[in-house]
Amino acid sequence: MPLTQTREISAASRLEKVRYAIRDLACVAAEVSKQGHKILPLNIGDPLNFDFQTPPHLIEAVYKAMRDGKNGYAPSSGITPALDAIRGEAARKGITNIQDVFVTSGVSESVDICLTALLNPGEDVLTPSPDYPLYSAVLAKLDIPLNTYYLNEEDGWQPDLDDIRRKLTPRTRGMVLINPNNPTGSVCSRKMLEDIAELARRHNLLLFADEIYDKLILDDDEHISLAAVAPDVPVVTFGGLSKNYLAPGWRIGWGIISGDSSQVKPYVDGVNKMLRARLCANHPEQYAIQPALEGPQDHLVEVRGKLRSRRDLTVKWCNSTPRVSCVPPRGAFYAYPRLDIPESDDVFVKELLLQRHVLAVHGSGFGEKPGTQHLRIVFLPDEKTLTAAYGGIADFMQARYGKSL
């Protein structure tokens, strides 16, 4: 006989704040496909689900590492050839004053470690709205309240500097910038980066520059690293193999801490404590970092070519469809069109999935200004799939709201 009656094991209440709309919607999609419908996926940013392949020389490097017995734990910061290659890449990006470099299980783990190493209870870090939900999930885990700044749709989704100034408090320790941006596809100008660096100087902020899409710039813009415009300012720059090198399943990311050495030293020590506590990142996969950063980059030409034409198709569709408008994305593989509809975008997205089997994510899953509705589109699928999906959305809107506004 048990001594006490069994009770439900409740999950921690702080998890109530964790949202991950991208994966949450996948449960509804699973139901729809169980009923035998083919889903048109515009939801998950995994290029390997579409006509993109990991460069073969990277696969060879990992395979060789495994055959060569690199299957034990790695050093906590990462293997030396990988760290050297990341430093070299940082130098090519114009990042100087590097104080530390480390490899993690994806940028996801870097973000987790770097926010954990910074924040005390009662402090906060500014995150963008809309944002990539990893940041708010980690902050929820740390019990840190969200303090979001708007990206300004009227200004091509650039950070709203006035809003940032309004949101800064004496307890604000840092600020996150995702550039190129998920979910909007925007790319920051040099002037914007300089203005952000100036704010950081004035308010003693640590900047987190998520540059995981830095090689996926779709037009002739130059990608400028935030750390490169401000060598004196403490910056953690995130990069990895998931997007630029088409290997998200390997879970390889990294962080580069730059800035004045005496200013960042205690923080670097804290990050390294966390790195040691979780032992190491995936070991054999780290052997792909050096060939990725120093070897042939041919795949990028093909990837950018495909993305450019899929972006163009997406923008053309948005601009020719009633109730839809879109700031043209300039980097990554996301578009964030605005919907002029008389209902919330989460209802829209769910009904679209149930009725037309098109899966996109609602703007409210990323954050948006009150009274606005958006859709995040991943334009990784080929033109045929995109055309079918956009046709489905247009038909759905016409049936639901009538022909015109």
Ligand X SMILES: Cc1ncc(COP(=O)(O)O)c(C=O)c1O
Length, in residues, of the chain? 405
Residue ranges in contact with ligand X by CB under 6 A: 45, 106-108, 132, 134, 178, 182, 210, 212, 240, 242, 248, 253
Alpha-carbon span 217 to 332, nearest angstrom: 7
Local structure of 101: helix, strand or coil: strand
Q: Which contiguous run of DSSP H or E holds residue 378?
A: strand 373-378
The distance of closest approach from Cβ of residue 375 to ligand X in the complex, given in angstroms and rounded to an integer, is: 17
The distance of closest approach from Cβ of residue 210 to ligand X in the complex, given in angstroms and rounded to an integer, is: 5
Alpha-carbon span 399 to 19, nearest angstrom: 30
Local structure of 341: helix, strand or coil: coil
The distance of closest approach from Cβ of residue 241 to ligand X in the complex, given in angstroms and rounded to an integer, is: 7
A 10 A CB-CB count for 64 gives 13
Nearer to ligand X, 147 or 181 (CB): 181
Strands 361-362, 373-378: pairing is antiparallel
Local structure of 231: helix, strand or coil: coil
Nearer to ligand X, 45 or 185 (CB): 45
The distance of closest approach from Cβ of residue 213 to ligand X in the complex, given in angstroms and rounded to an integer, is: 7
The distance of closest approach from Cβ of residue 167 to ligand X in the complex, given in angstroms and rounded to an integer, is: 20
Phi, psi (rounded to 5 degrees) for 171:
-95, 5
Nearer to ligand X, 45 or 381 (CB): 45
DSSP code string of 33-67 = HHTTPPPEE-S---GGGTT----HHHHHHHHHHHH
Residue nearest to ligand X (CB): 106
Nearer to ligand X, 182 or 258 (CB): 182
The distance of closest approach from Cβ of residue 203 to ligand X in the complex, given in angstroms and rounded to an integer, is: 23
Nearer to ligand X, 287 or 333 (CB): 333
Nearer to ligand X, 46 or 84 (CB): 46
Alpha-carbon span 382 to 393, nearest angstrom: 17
The distance of closest approach from Cβ of residue 44 to ligand X in the complex, given in angstroms and rounded to an integer, is: 9
The burial class, CB within 10 Å (0-12 / 13-18 / 19+), for 405 is: exposed
Nearer to ligand X, 132 or 287 (CB): 132
